[in-house]
A and B are shown apart, each in its own frame.
Chain A
Amino acid sequence: MSNQGSDYQELPVESYTSGESKSKVLNKNKIRRARIIGVILLILAGVVMFVLAPAAEGNATFGLSFPDDRFQLDALSVPSTGSLYILALVLGFLGGTQFLKGFQSKSTIILGISFALFVVAVMIWATAGQEFSLISMLVSTIARCTPIALGALSGILCERAGVVNIGIEGMLLGGAFTGVVMGSLVGGWVGLISATIVGGMLALLLAFLAINFRVDQIIIGVVINILVLGLTSFLTAQVLVKRPEWNDAPIFPAIKIPILGDIPILGPMFFDQTILVYGMFGLVVFTTYMLFRSRWGLRTRSVGENPKAADSLGISVAKTRYLAVIYGGMVGGFAGAWFTLGTVGRFDEGMTGGRGFIGLAAMIFGAWNPIGAFGAALIFGFSDSLQQKLALINTPIPTEFLSMTPYLVTIIVVAGLVGRARPPAADGQPFEKQ
């Protein structure tokens, strides 16, 4: 109900009655927002100018090719101090303009660009005098965005049908565990399929309690997370520790697509990945098509927006929701397999580390649209892989702070955007057939 966000919350009652004073207050809020963004940008410029630039020395070198790539690109080497001062000036100019005049409707884009410039500045500062393999970071960005994008997709499917799913984390963890056990016992593909099935079964529990018993959906999500975390930890300690051969699954190899895989930079990023990453691309495209171009998608969305109207047109709300939630759960289980079958081949307690919740943030950032959520997941994947790669080279930032980055980015994104992105109207509301 307070979709408009807090801008309206504290207004005096009169502002609702008179149109003129309402627009005045709105205008004031707009100016205030522009000022705040301007100040943030100026602070960023100040940090680059006075903290990062004086501390940087020598050239920052970024590797753009792997040694065995067919086409070699020369490493990009930039003088760190000079480029930092330039970045500081650009940020300062953007911030100053925003503060004085405001970029109006473009200010969000300017904010995004400025954050990107700031990240570039941090990277230059952190690698000053060293070499940093940019290409391997970009490749791992795509890999690390996979579970987040799929988690977001899982959330989108459930919420477009009107069921809030915060049990994605549990579905990821359940998929990861099942994937490694079945993968070790039978083989990678069986592991992947079992993980998908387990995700679907957890979603069935969510659907059953949410639709049949109308239990609070946030509580069910939390219960799924607690149950799966407890159960997988229990089984790890009780069974996998005694039978390490059950916790040693084959890892899906990266499959290089001929010709496309040889394109510099983009080739290794998009066309030399594991089957799970390709599966993610396929699922994002397929789900987008199904949600927005098929009869099933129209029905699913109608059930999430206005179940009463859908019901009166003869659509079974319960059945439609069941289908969407189970599909979403299967996507979550598939995503979970990435943690074990796509990377290390073994399971550790709580190894998903909040990626399911980051997926939820990506879903909100992407405005409940699969393509948008994929874009958001790329940002999270980038921050995740950046912190990991920066931890490998000798940076002045403590590793604990580096590993906070994905979580901080999530908070900033959720705080900055939730007010403007509109969730499906019947999200989280149980439906009772009259």
Chain B
Amino acid sequence: MNKNLTAEEKNELVNPKERGFTQRLATATDWRTALLIPALAVLTALIIGVVIIMVTGSSFSDAMEAYKALLQGSVGSLRAISETLTAATPLILSGLSVALAFRAGLFNIGAEGQALIGGMFAVWVGFSITGLPLYIHLPLAVLAGIVGGAIYGFVPGILKAKTGAHEVITTIMLNYIALRLVDYFLKTSIFQREGRNDPVSKNVEATAELPAFLSSVDPALRVHAGLFVALAAAFFIYWLLFRTTIGFEFRAVGANPSAARYAGISVTRVYILVMMIAGALAGTAGAGQVLGVLGRATPGFTADLGFDGIAVALLGRSNPWGVVAAAILFGGLRAGGQQMQVSANVGIDLIAVIQGLIIMFVAAPALIAAIYRLKTPVASTQISKGWAS
């Protein structure tokens, strides 16, 4: 197991606090692998995207038209930038959720389910309590999302810690269960809007909505205060991971659970705690969606933000600030993808393919190095160690 450690991870274990800022900024060995590989990964994925568009019977100029729409929809105007940031907000949080788990050697595919449950908690507090002022109601609703996500993250955490059940399987199963729980609860009288037969929740009270802080400039600017919550969360996770004993324990367990156990760290406690915090982050993402964008809950309202979180965490190399940057990129892809679908008639599912390709190339930097004949030595990301550990 030791041989899977990179030199940098070992350094982190031995010497966690005496590292330079740039080193902390990027988990990679130097700035080139930290910036060049992701940039080339994105470029290569976009090129393959052109091929896929052309395979479905469009011409090269159609594909260029689609990418022009993608660019315009993501950064082409103030409104496009607002859309990008709106889409990036939950991705920062779900990306942090996956990244934190990565750091502790866990693969949290369950951000989707945790966001769904967190969102349901938040929406319930959002519509059921009335008459509170904004500065009490809104934090309460966000807190409900955090609690809901943490509870749902606790389940795979304790299963992993106590029974060894691999979190990849349990979190995926919990995602399917969460989707069905949401479907069920949206049809109960607690959640369902009066006079509706379809599964849609009551509207969140105005006092629980995350304010769209630029709406005074232009009502169409949807970017909301959840962005600041997400950035604060990124700072908090950075502080937790690199400035606290708990964070050191997380990283020690992620680097080598048996060594960590031998050093007196309770691996059981770390697994449970990490999954709860990861769940809380994803739950906040779900809460941000219902309180900031949708104003209510509908079936599957998280729209795959949990899965995009995996891509964000990998692209950001599980570093909180890298996650923020990756989330903004993917937020741009999402916002631009909408535009692409509308004006160039290329389906938004292409974005999922491009994201998948980006993860593949980021996880296999040697592949990128081979394609572009880079001379930088690159190591593949190793986050998992099979079923049993």
Q: Is the CB of A411 within 8 A of B173?
A: yes
A178 to B48, CA, bound (A): 20
Q: Is A254 an interface residue (CB 8 A)?
A: no
Q: Which residues of A contact B29 (CB under 8 A)?
A: none
Interface SS majority for chain A: helix
- Stretch binding the partner chain, chosen from B88-96, B163-171, B215-223: B163-171
Given A239-B57, A400-B180, the answer on whether A415 and B163 have CB atoms closer than 8 Å is yes
- The 8 A CB mask of A404-422 against B (1 = contact, 0 = none) is 1001101100111011001
- From A218, A238, A410, give the contact of B347 (CB < 8 A): A238
Q: Which residues of A contact B267 (CB under 8 A)?
A: 9
- Stretch binding the partner chain, chosen from A70-78, A224-232, A307-315: A224-232
Q: Is B353 an interface residue (CB 8 A)?
A: yes
Q: Is the CB of B349 within 8 A of A230?
A: yes
Q: Is B27 an interface residue (CB 8 A)?
A: no
Q: Is A220 an interface residue (CB 8 A)?
A: yes
- Stretch binding the partner chain, chosen from B17-25, B133-141, B233-241, B363-371: B363-371
Q: Which of A192-231 contact B (CB under 8 A)?
A: 209, 213-220, 222-223, 226-227, 229-231
Q: Is A2 an interface residue (CB 8 A)?
A: yes
A5 to B164, CA, bound (A): 6
A232 to B, closest residue via Cβ: B349
Q: Is the CB of A414 within 8 A of B169?
A: yes
B378 to A, closest residue via Cβ: A213
Q: Is the CB of B380 within 8 A of A415?
A: no
A398 to B, closest residue via Cβ: B184
- From A220, A237, A403, A418, give the contact of B166 (CB < 8 A): A418
Given A6-B163, A6-B164, A354-B172, the answer on whether A229 and B352 have CB atoms closer than 8 Å is yes
- The 8 A CB mask of B129-166 against A (1 = contact, 0 = none) is 00000000000000000000000000000010111111
Q: Which residues of A contact B174 (CB under 8 A)?
A: 407, 411
- The 8 A CB mask of B172-183 against A (1 = contact, 0 = none) is 111011001101
Q: Which residues of B contact A408 (CB under 8 A)?
A: 173, 177
Q: Is the CB of A404 within 8 A of B176?
A: yes
Determine the interface band of chain A, counting residues with CB < 8 A from chain B. 35 or more
A415 to B173, CA, bound (A): 12
Q: Is the CB of A2 within 8 A of B258?
A: yes
Q: Is the CB of A219 within 8 A of B359?
A: yes
- The 8 A CB mask of B307-340 against A (1 = contact, 0 = none) is 1001100100000000000000000000000000
Q: Is B128 an interface residue (CB 8 A)?
A: no
Q: Which residues of A contact B172 (CB under 8 A)?
A: 354, 357
Q: Is the CB of A407 within 8 A of B173?
A: yes
Q: Is the CB of A222 within 8 A of B177?
A: no
A164 to B383, CA, bound (A): 13
Q: Is the CB of A423 within 8 A of B386?
A: yes
Determine the interface band of chain B, counting residues with CB < 8 A from chain A. 35 or more
Q: Which of A373-403 contact B (CB under 8 A)?
A: 398, 400-401, 403
Q: Which residues of A contact B363 (CB under 8 A)?
A: 215-216, 219-220, 223
Given A5-B164, A219-B314, the answer on whether A213 and B177 have CB atoms closer than 8 Å is no
A234 to B384, CA, bound (A): 30
Q: Is the CB of B355 within 8 A of A226?
A: yes
Q: Is A19 an interface residue (CB 8 A)?
A: no
Q: Is the CB of B355 within 8 A of A230?
A: yes
Q: Is B32 an interface residue (CB 8 A)?
A: no
Q: Is the CB of B1 within 8 A of A1?
A: yes
Q: Which residues of A contact B384 (CB under 8 A)?
A: 164, 216-219, 428
- From B170, B184, B349, B364, give the contact of A415 (CB < 8 A): B170
Q: Is the CB of A216 within 8 A of B352?
A: no
User: In the complex, given contacts A222-B107, A414-B165, A415-B159, what are 8 additional A-B residue pairs having Cβ atoms less than 8 angstroms apart?
Assistant: A5-B164, A216-B384, A226-B356, A230-B350, A360-B169, A415-B165, A418-B164, A423-B386
CB pairs A–B below 8 angstroms (14 shown):
A10-B266, A10-B268, A213-B367, A217-B384, A227-B360, A234-B347, A238-B347, A354-B173, A400-B184, A404-B177, A414-B159, A415-B163, A418-B163, A423-B387
